[in-house]
Structure 1
């Protein structure tokens, strides 16, 4: 708290109090650890757009949940139902992961070259700025 306080110009206890208030107000839901996947050997990341075939939505959803190399997945509007991220050791893993899905879904895969933004929080909404 003292280190944060130095950066924002507050005492450690004041930072702690503000964090507790933000938690109780529901602004902060919890704290987490960010792990560098590359240090674990995952040198590649892929983004996969997934469009389940007719009556396969729940099966595809289960397959995504069960494959631990999927690191995130969003349900989306548009032609695809899911956009997911995969952590990979090599491109060769894509077949092992995606071939079982192909009986139940169409997939379109892109390899991530670099990330401009990652998990950035939005600024305050116009309504909250005045509060």
Structure 2
């Protein structure tokens, strides 16, 4: 379990993963060495798995994002999973229950690229695609309490 100070440190790092130990100490009321020790323990326990960087795909020319529901044809589940993993424009993918087996996020430069990438799945799976208009909730933590 985590206590209130751990949760405060995690929340601060979620807002800015580059915060220094000194800044985290000011936020938490602990000393910098104490913060360092807490973070080390959170890492050892697997609570903190890494520190990340958020990039805007538009800065690299990826103007569209799509959510793609993928339903592999019979006997093609593992082949489709490997294919999705091999296409770098698929930036996230979850294996799910229900009629579809995968829900994936895809970043593309334009509709032509979207069509070309989805064509690679053709013959292996059925797809259902929605273009992302806006992301009102960015990736975030569930409540920690």
TM-score, normalization by structure 2: 0.79
CA displacement 1:51-73 (0-9 Å, x = unmatched):
01111111111110111100011
- CA displacement at 1:88 relative to structure 2: 1.0
Number of the residue aligned with 2:133: 113
Number of the residue aligned with 2:43: 23
Q: Give RMSD over aligned pairs.
A: 1.5
Structure 1's unaligned 5+ residue stretches are none
Deviates more, 1:24-33 or 1:97-106: 24-33
- Corresponding position: 1:3 with 2:58: no
Aligned counterparts of 1:65 and 1:27: Cα–Cα separation in 2: 26
Number of the residue aligned with 1:65: 85
Aligned counterparts of 1:122 and 1:94: Cα–Cα separation in 2: 32
CA displacement 1:95-118 (0-9 Å, x = unmatched):
110012121111000011111222
Aligned counterparts of 1:24 and 1:5: Cα–Cα separation in 2: 20
Q: 1:17 to 1:50 in 2, by over 3 A?
A: same
- Corresponding position: 1:33 with 2:53: yes
Aligned counterparts of 1:71 and 1:80: Cα–Cα separation in 2: 18
Aligned counterparts of 2:29 and 2:58: Cα–Cα separation in 1: 34
- CA displacement at 1:3 relative to structure 2: 2.2
